[in-house]
Amino acid sequence: MADLPVRLRHAGGRSRGRRRRVPRRAVPGKRVVFARPREPVCSAAPQCPIRFVPTRVRLENVGPVARSPVKRRRVRVLHVVHRLDYGGLQRLVGAIVSLIDHDRFDSHVMTMTHFGPLAEGLAAFAELHQDESIPRFSMVWPRRASGKIRSIAPDVVHTHSGVWYKASLAARRAGVPRIIHTDHGRPHPDPWVARFLDGLAARRTDVVVAVSEALRRQLADTVVPDPARIRVIVNGVDTSRFGPRAVNGAVRRELGIPAGVPIIGSVGRLDPIKGYDVMIDAFAALRASWMGGDGPAPVLLLVGDGPERARLAALIEQSGLRDVARLAGWRKDVERVYPLLDVFTLSSWSEGTSLGLLEAMSAGVCPVVTAVGGSPAVLGGRLRERLVQPGDRAALAEAWRGALTQRERREADGAAARERVQQAFSLDAMVRRYERLYAGEDGASTAGVPGHGEGGAST
């Protein structure tokens, strides 16, 4: 093979001009050999102090060359949430950061207030950050949040309900190449100020995720100016963790509920949007009309915490339900609580895709819930007969009565509920879909995402 000139070299050994590097494996199976010809190329007069001699290379056969695979760096994803309590939103974030492919993604979580009780469990899977101060002017100029995000240097910022406007503004000012937002459900009623601010946030968000088809339609109609940016990713649950199991008498004793007493239960944040006041009123009506022939009267168990706790405790006291209605607070072992329930219930005014509902159904518990948001789609088929209209106390009480007094049908509906979740609400499928969003494989902008252009953070 002919020699290939690659640069000029001064006869005295010093290089002149810019040197061009030659890779040691320029051609597969060839070795680069450097050689200097005997005669100088420069034909200038002998008085010329500078003579240039070209260094040449030739390629010799050395056999096949093993190519080492190119290792891409991990995509750094920063989740931004308001706080880390045991609500459905926070548990969903926990599921994503714990089950994501850690060889491809580097997870971080930032709270806009205190960490909360869920932070301890997340620390094993993600680096945690805190931005405690939220002054009013930060809604216009989130300098502190932007600085925090810039120091983390994420490739993707994933905001969640409650922080969309401020977090997306801070991320854009920090130069983050890709912003994703998951809306876990709209407030009821949905104030125009919230719709206006979220509409502004949507303009600087690359992908908006709705957790149900019903929520996607609502966002497209009232919030997101460009509906083409919306994707639907329904929530999923770990059906191996949340499954039918033998009733644990120890948990009943912890909760102060005697054996043999039926339990109507709910798990979730104690928030006005959940309509727990409607639930308590309906339960009072059910207890007042309960007949001895129907068996032992049920108790009401509410697992969770939130801003409504004090008001709900007062309402329970006023309704004379102190001994039969329990506010159990947050529990880390809700998978041990669901099997105790005879009926799982929601009285919500609005829902995205309720994680508590999915967990209870996965545990084989018969559901009685309001027909809002994604709940009708979650139940599907014959289970839709267990739906009631929001705010209808009498209908809710009668639906409970029907479920409690018809044991065989209740158990059959519980089995159908578990089968439904196993088929349609896989946690693994949900996490894989979020991975594709983080990697820019959804068709939206991929600028700055590793493997799809330059930029972002290094690990």
Contact 149, 171 (CB under 8 A): yes
Instruction: Using pLDDT thresholds of 50, 70 and 90, give the confidence band for residue 84.
Output: confident
Nearest to 387, CA basis, from 250, 306, 378: 378
- Please report whether residue 312 resides in a domain: yes
> Tokens for 310?
């004090």
Instruction: Using pLDDT thresholds of 50, 70 and 90, give the confidence band for residue 26.
Output: very low
DSSP secondary structure string for all residues of 106-119: EEEEEESS---TTH
The answer, yes or no, to whether the previous bond of 187 is cis (omega within 30 of 0) is no
- Please report whether residue 165 resides in a domain: yes
- In whole angstroms, what is the distance from residue 281 CA to residue 265 CA? 14
Those residues with Cβ within 8 angstroms of residue 144's Cβ, 6 or more apart along the chain or in another chain = 131, 133, 138
Do 415 and 433 sit in the same domain of this protein? no
- Say what the pTM is: 0.77
In CATH, what number is assigned to the domain containing residue 314? 3.40.50.2000
Do 163 and 192 sit in the same domain of this protein? yes
pLDDT per position as a tens digit, 262-311: 999 999 999 999 999 999 999 999 999 998 767 899 999 999 999 999 99
Do 54 and 99 sit in the same domain of this protein? no
Residues 406-415: contacts with CB within 8 Å, 24+ apart? 410/342, 410/343, 410/366, 411/366, 413/366, 413/367, 413/382, 413/383, 413/386, 414/244, 414/364, 414/365, 414/366, 415/364
* Amino acid found at 193: V
- In whole angstroms, what is the distance from residue 260 CA to residue 57 CA? 89
- Please report whether residue 82 resides in a domain: yes
pLDDT of residue 66: 57
Do 323 and 421 sit in the same domain of this protein? yes
- Please report whether residue 57 resides in a domain: yes
What is the total count of domains within the chain? 3
- Please report whether residue 329 resides in a domain: yes
**Helix boundaries (H) for 292-424:** 309-318, 334-337, 355-362, 375-379, 393-405, 407-424
Residue 22 above 50 pLDDT?
A: no
pLDDT per position as a tens digit, 284-294: 999 999 987 67
Do 83 and 200 sit in the same domain of this protein? yes
Do 202 and 91 sit in the same domain of this protein? yes
Report the range of poorest mean pLDDT among 49-53, 91-95, 117-121, 175-179. 49-53
Those residues with Cβ within 8 angstroms of residue 228's Cβ, 6 or more apart along the chain or in another chain = none
Do 126 and 203 sit in the same domain of this protein? yes
- Please report whether residue 453 resides in a domain: no
Neighbours of 133 (CB within 10 A): 10
pLDDT per position as a tens digit, 128-142: 998 865 555 555 667
Do 267 and 385 sit in the same domain of this protein? yes
Residue 147 above 70 pLDDT?
A: yes
Average pLDDT over residues 66-73: 63
Do 398 and 417 sit in the same domain of this protein? yes
Residue range of the domain that includes 88: 75-236+428-438
- Per-residue b/e over 244-273, b at no fewer than 16 CB within 10 Å? eeeeeeeebeebebeeeebbbbbbbbbbeb
Average pLDDT over residues 206-235: 96
Do 419 and 305 sit in the same domain of this protein? yes
**Residue listed under structure tokens 């805190």:** 130
The residue among 15, 37, 61 that closes a domain is 61
- Please report whether residue 458 resides in a domain: no
- Coil, strand or helix: which one is 81? strand
Do 415 and 434 sit in the same domain of this protein? no
The packing angle between helices 88-99 and 355-362, to 10°, is 70
- Please report whether residue 213 resides in a domain: yes
Do 315 and 375 sit in the same domain of this protein? yes
pLDDT per position as a tens digit, 312-361: 999 999 999 999 999 999 898 999 999 999 999 999 999 999 999 999 99
